[in-house]
Amino acid sequence: MTIPLRPSGLTSTASALQMLERKQAVLANNLANASTRGFKAEHPFARLLDNARAVTETTLDTTAGTITNTGNPLDLAIEGEGFFVTQTPGGERFVRTGSFQLDAERRLVDGRGNPVLGEQGPVVLRPGVVTIDADGMVQLNGRPVQRLRLERVDDAAELQHEGGTQFVPDDTRRLVPAAERRVRQGALEESNVNPMLAMTDMLDLLGQFQAAQKVLTAIDEARGIAVTDLAKPV
């Protein structure tokens, strides 16, 4: 019969420090992207494993950021639900940042050069006046080209960050019906990170980290005293 080992105070406290370090990294990344358009904050939380060790996991905050008008006809923002879809070397990805441009082949691309996908594939625009309706229909000189693909996922879906403002879609992905779309041309969505709240969370976490360090030091000193006392001759 195998008896499960109980974690000592030393290992439990060390595990807590590792958990807090991971939380600090997540919060620091949020704060660093407070001005990154289309960025979505991650909220760290602790989960207790079977061996009583705590680990840090994250959940994505999909709350919409503030929308800022830019006047650039290729800048797009989504009001409400949905993501633009891009074609990357690793597969299709979701983005909320709509800071688009035209590449050498006159394809609509994101800041990384990934083509933005419409319902019939990459969007190619010849020279002319570009207008984009609220439902994502791209028009050139008043003539329809194709409608942008806007997709969403289930509320319970856990999208994963990839490259800051890219997200990996899961199996619940589906098109947003044209009637439910609200695309704004000449505007961009800001980051949804609240810098003041992020700073407050980081300061609170610093206090927790310092407290855990003191506990670790106290346990280490107690172990040292015990070893020294046991080593003395009776």
Q: Which residues contact 90 (CB under 8 A, 6 or more apart)?
A: 162
- DSSP assignment string, 21-63: HHHHHHHHHHHHTTTSTT---EEEEEEE-TTS-EEEEEEE--P
Cβ–Cβ under 8 Å, residues 85 and 76: no
Higher pLDDT, 39 or 51: 39
Nearest residue to 124 via CA among 99, 104, 106: 106
Q: What is the pTM of this model?
A: 0.78
Report the C-alpha gap between 192 and 78 in whole angstroms.
13
Tokens read off for 54: 């705590």
What's the pLDDT at 59? 85
Residues of the chain with pLDDT > 70: what percent?
A: 77
Mean pLDDT of the chain: 85
| Mean pLDDT score, 129-152 | 97
66: left (phi over 0), alpha (psi -120 to 50) or beta: beta
What's the pLDDT at 23? 83
pLDDT confidence band for 19 (50 / 70 / 90): confident
Does 8 have pLDDT greater than 80?
A: no
Task: Indicate the range of 37-46, 111-120, 192-201, 210-219 predicted with least confidence.
Answer: 210-219
